[in-house]
């Protein structure tokens, strides 16, 4: 395995200036890092700078005091030419990622780590044209990356040099990391999200509840515990004094009966239109920007509480 140097990460290249890339940029800038961005879309620089201005104000509320410099490069090769770390945020299409990551690998300095924000694609497939694929990792954030702390990391191996350095870097900018032991479509959390989404859609299709009530059931029920309890700890507590062993002995059979009664929904055009109509009616008069602002305000409040609850 090629070993990279331990050069400090001071300059980050952001490839792709959409919502995810702009959010990443704000986080890195608020940590005092230099950011070189690139995106061929018309108006990309203006969009990123506007997003960063608002996101930096949010990050100031969380105690981030850095003020890094943001520049916009003419193309991806220029953006990564002096980078110590590259965060790629291109379209979620395998054929595009393959070519883009190969281009970045060819242009970035030898010591640089290249991280893809891909939410589902397999690292082994999107690095097939890279000359030094061992330095290319998955660094998958959650929207918006500057507020939601988790980053999932997938590397050539879980203990590789690139993984260790990437994990240390993400932690240094206030992220919480999970290193996967092996790759899987959707990584870790999006597989969990997919299971919850599948059942939420199925419950609506079965006529048990409407989307608004399903959302409410999550936010007022298990969602209250999720900021500080994962499923294993939750079921450990659910077993009472005997913990998870007692849960398996007495309650797991009921769980298995529920699993058997959880069909995969049939997503035909008519049912998709039914979901769209229900959601659009619920949020009529509210733009996506307004909903995102409300989400971010709630995340900021929750982060303040969560910090006080940490072990």
Helix axes 211-220, 189-205, angle to 10 degrees: 130
pLDDT band with cut points at 50, 70 and 90 for residue 309: confident
pLDDT above 80 (res 283): yes
Q: Which residues contact 239 (CB under 8 A, 6 or more apart)?
A: 245, 246, 247, 248, 250, 251
User: pLDDT digits over 113-127, tens only?
Assistant: 999 999 999 999 999
Distances 12 to 21, 27, 32, 83 between C-alpha atoms, Å: 11, 11, 11, 5
For 182-198, give one letter per residue: b (16+ CB within 10 A) or e: eeeebbbebeeeeeeee
Domains of the chain: which residue ranges?
Answer: 11-179, 191-309
Give me the mean pLDDT over the 60-71 stretch. 95
User: pLDDT digits over 256-274, tens only?
Assistant: 999 999 999 999 999 999 9
So what CATH class is 191-309? mainly alpha
**Average pLDDT in the chain:** 95
pLDDT above 70 (res 20): yes
pLDDT band with cut points at 50, 70 and 90 for residue 311: low
For domain 11-179, give the CATH number.
Answer: 3.40.50.720
Pick from 135, 36, 131, 152: nearest CA to 83:
36
């Amino acid at each position: 395995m090629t070993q990279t140097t331990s050069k400090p990460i001071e300059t980050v290249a952001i490839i792709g200036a959409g919502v995810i890339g702009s959010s990443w940029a704000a986080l890195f800038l608020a940590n005092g890092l230099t950011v070189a961005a690139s995106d061929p879309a018309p108006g990309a620089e203006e969009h990123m700078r506007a997003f960063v201005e608002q996101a930096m104000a949010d990050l100031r509320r969380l105690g981030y005091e850095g003020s890094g410099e943001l520049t916009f490069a003419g193309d991806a090769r220029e953006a990564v030419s002096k980078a110590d770390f590259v965060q790629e945020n291109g379209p979620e299409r395998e054929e595009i990622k393959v070519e883009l990551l190969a281009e970045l690998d060819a242009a970035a300095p030898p010591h640089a780590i290249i991280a893809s924000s891909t939410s589902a694609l397999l690292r082994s497939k999107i690095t097939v044209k890279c000359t030094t694929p061992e330095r290319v990792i998955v660094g998958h954030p959650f929207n918006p990356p500057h507020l939601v702390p988790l980053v999932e990391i997938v590397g050539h191996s879980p203990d590789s040099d690139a993984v260790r350095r990437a994990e240390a870097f993400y932690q240094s900018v206030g992220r919480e990391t999970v290193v996967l032991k092996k790759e899987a479509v959707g990584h870790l959390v999006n597989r969990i999200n997919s299971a919850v989404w599948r059942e939420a859609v199925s419950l609506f299709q079965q006529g048990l509840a409407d989307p608004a009530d399903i959302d409410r059931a999550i936010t007022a029920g298990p969602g209250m515990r999720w900021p500080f309890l994962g499923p294993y700890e939750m079921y450990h507590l659910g077993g009472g004094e005997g913990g998870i062993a007692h849960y398996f002995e007495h309650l797991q059979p009921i769980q298995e009966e529920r699993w058997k009664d959880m069909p995969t929904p049939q997503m035909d055009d008519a049912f998709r239109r039914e979901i769209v109509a229900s959601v659009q009616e619920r949020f009529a008069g509210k733009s996506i920007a307004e909903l995102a602002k409300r989400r971010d305000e709630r995340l900021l409040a929750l982060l303040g509480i969560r910090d006080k609850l940490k072990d």
